Amino acid sequence: MRQVWKPSVTVAAIVERDGRFLLVEEHTVEGLRLNNPAGHLEPGESPVHGAIREALEETCCEFTPDGLLGVYLSRFQRPDEDVTYLRFAFRGSMGSPIAGRQLDDNIVRTVWLTPSEVRESQARHRSPLVLQCVEDHLAGKCYPLDLVMTHPSVQALQAPYGRSGL
C-alpha cells in the first residue's frame, strides 16, 4: 500500500516590541532551544486561533495577530524521524502576563532578543524558521489575516483529550 505524505501543520506568533523579538526557551530532545511561540494546530481550530492558543500556553500572554507573516515549509530529520512542517506564522502584539497562568511544561522562559541576538543564537534555534520569520518581519512582509480561510466544517472536528479549539 502506498504511504500518504502528510506534513505536520504548525502555527507561530511573531512579536516585535521596542526593537526586540519574543522567543521562548524550551526543553527539546536536542537540549534547550529557542523558538518563536509556536506549536501544532489542533483539531477544530483555525490557524489564527491556533497561534493565539500556542502563544498563550507558551508565554502566559494574550497574542493579538494583525497579519499573516507567511506560510513556510521545512523538513526536520534525524535517524529515527523525518518530518515536514507546514508553518503559518502570524505577526502581532502581546499583552501583559495573565495572573495565575503557568508556562507549558517544556517552556523554561520567555526572552526578548534584538535582531542581532536572534542571528547570533542561530545554533540554538529549534528550527531554521525562527530566524527566517524574524528576517521576513524585518523586511516588512505582511498579508491580511483573511488570506487564510478556515471553512466552518473544521469546527465540527472534536479535539482529542477533551480539548476544544478556539
Write the class of the CATH domain 8-144: alpha beta
The answer, yes or no, to whether residue 14 has pLDDT greater than 90, is yes
The pTM of the whole model exceeds 0.85 = yes
The predicted structure's pLDDT at residue 166:
41
Average pLDDT, the chain: 92
Q: Where are the domains of the chain?
A: 8-144
Q: How crowded is the C-beta side of 147, counted as CA atoms within 13 Å?
A: 13
* Continuous segment of H or E residues that includes residue 116: helix 115-120
DSSP states along 122-144: GGGBSSTHHHHHHHHHHTT--B-
The predicted structure's pLDDT at residue 162:
45
- 159 pLDDT band, cuts 50/70/90, is low
Write the CB contacts of 135 (distance below 8 Å, at least 6 apart in sequence). Answer: none
The answer, yes or no, to whether residue 160 has pLDDT greater than 80, is no
- 91 pLDDT band, cuts 50/70/90, is very high
Separation CA 81–CA 91 (nearest Å): 30
List pLDDT tens digits, range 37-72: 999 999 999 999 999 999 999 999 999 999 999 999
Compute the average pLDDT of residues 23-27: 97
* CA-closest candidate to residue 127, choices 93, 70, 95, 86: 86
